[in-house]
Chains A and B, each alone.
Chain A
């Protein structure tokens, strides 16, 4: 007994000491120095979904957009993270009460909450990342992405690269390309549709084999599908499946295939796949947030509608080729650039579904 008490007290003391040390190391409170502007300062904020900050995805990217706006326009920014579903309405309401506008709600699961809260606060602007409103309230803007346009460029690249064995020995010259989807839902179909159209535009005989994992966080399944695609002869695979895709990348690393990354530049975010990452189809969520804030400052906030961010708006893009930059022939790069220009100029329209 006595010994236990002593142990407990010692543990408490150690804990207190650690706390003090932590305190000593803690960074000083962040003082946000913002350039002074003549206009009253705009207060803008975002609410994360339950994934929270640190998800290396939409929440983090939206925050990047906010931070850029803070730096460039001197706006005041705030992030509220959500821990449970009930937090969505709660956080949106508290921000609206505190005078923030526009308020960004990140993720389609907040669509219901934005619809409700935007009706309660008609003078506050709301931006819904990845949210598509059937009937958007006048003060809410759905911010969605034309994934098919950047996927089209990836398709052009893949369609040409799959016939060029000089790029990498992993290309087996049997004209087969793989696609791994998380679920067969509209957003994934936009990726697939754009990709297939891109491939066929330069290589009509190419075979694009599409498979679905049924989950966005099943790495084992992603790997299994990757291996089976490689067995079917695929030399280039485009996994659009969240964490499931990491399994596919693993399969490609082991069995020798090239990967096209998704959402963000996976050359940077998946460092051990550097040697097989041709490029990535990136969704510039930060750009959508940044531009919406800019529009609000210019008095051009597009409420009551859904705005699609495509290549032209800088909402989607193809990441740099990185390690493959020296290996991909200039002729292929030129074709990709030409396709990009054609889409931006409106000469090519990419369908968002092939069904």
Chain B
């Protein structure tokens, strides 16, 4: 619809409202159908969702849990969204996340003895660079020989995972029976929000939340007000037209995929410094892939990524109480996530249908 400027000129507020609220409608539909499924399995959907909501927003502590689970999804959501805005599908965010996490876990041990004010920024930047570097090779392959980024970034994802798997069982393995790296030093630990702002009793939620929100704002600014952002959007919108207009597709692609990789790398390093304190085989539960869903729900708008990630974080955080109080298995949360994506994906089709209806009604009125 963005391709039809006349709609904007006419200030079609209803159309804009439909677009803005369609993710909300998707969520509501997903909840309704999930309720049906919960009911079908002989459990109480009202009790289930009541527990889910209390377990994610019911107290400051639970809100903190929601933020905790939302932070990595904000970063990966932004990463995927930036790719999409530039016409690239970075399906390998998970791999870039592992590389960011690996940089964080390694440097967290090496630089952990230094002051927080030196170690923390240095390690976080290194994590972003590691993610960017991991996206750089697929980016160059795309720009130079046209190798499709869906294949290359995904394969690089596997490579990253197995490199980490090898390192934590071999060269970087901490002493003891468990295949994992050593705990990071005190100087590398990302403080909890409550440690910085004692008034906010947000439990385990850490300062990564602020970094993520900052990145969302930065990305919004870059896309809207900088040449890089303009070029990215132009290439994403219509590469041939962009090239005609003097924009280099190759360099824009490389830049965009590296920015996307850096954001995914941040997800990994922040998760290591803020939550796990080390890296091991299963340290990410597919944050890179859930990030795709977050970006979809947010319609690739960096600011909208924040509430979208919080929604997915709330589903994770609240599922614990949902299992505990309503005996609803955790798989239901995955079903809700799947349904949300399903309805978001079918949204253009529904809104087109509504638009057509409205046109018919208007025609009849005239």
Contact = CB atoms under 8 A, between A and B. Distances in A.
Given A52-B330, A80-B324, A91-B320, A19 B42 contact: no
Interface string A82-103: 1111110111001100100000
Interface string B306-330: 0000000000110111011000011
A50 B180 CA distance: 16
Nearest to B346: A8
B21 interface: no
B177 A186 contact: yes
Contacts of B177: 108, 132, 185-187
B350 to A, nearest CB: 8
A26 B40 contact: yes
Taking chain B's interface residues, is the majority helix, strand, or loop, or is none over half, making it mixed?
Answer: helix
A87 B55 contact: no
B41 interface: yes
A134 B177 CA distance: 11
Interface in A94-152: 94-95, 98, 108-109, 111-112, 132, 134
Contact of A1 (B33, B276, B353): B353
A30 B321 CA distance: 19
Contacts of A274: none
A86 B68 contact: yes
A207 to B, nearest CB: 27
Indicate the size class of the contact surface on chain A.
35 or more
Nearest to B324: A94
Interface residues of B, number: 44
A203 to B, nearest CB: 30
B85 interface: no
B291 to A, nearest CB: 13
Nearest to B278: A112
B330 A4 contact: no
Interface in B173-223: 176-180, 204
B280 A109 contact: yes
B69 A86 contact: yes
A5 interface: yes
A83 B319 contact: yes
A62 B352 CA distance: 52
B244 interface: no
A86 B353 CA distance: 41
Contact of A185 (B36, B39, B179): B179
Contacts of B165: 215
Contacts of B329: 53, 81
Nearest to A82: B330
Given A19-B33, A90-B320, A108-B178, 16 more contacts: A4-B349, A8-B349, A19-B36, A19-B37, A23-B40, A27-B42, A50-B282, A81-B330, A85-B275, A86-B204, A91-B320, A94-B320, A98-B324, A108-B177, A109-B178, A132-B177
Which 8 A-B pairs rank lowest in CB-CB distance, beginning with the nearest?
Answer: A84-B285, A23-B40, A29-B42, A81-B330, A186-B177, A22-B40, A90-B320, A80-B323
Interface of B: 33, 36-37, 39-43, 55, 65, 68-69, 165-166, 169, 176-180, 204, 275-277, 280, 282-283, 285, 316-317, 319-321, 323-324, 329-330, 333-334, 346, 349, 352-353, 356
10 contacts: A4-B349, A19-B37, A53-B329, A82-B330, A83-B330, A85-B276, A87-B319, A108-B178, A109-B180, A214-B166
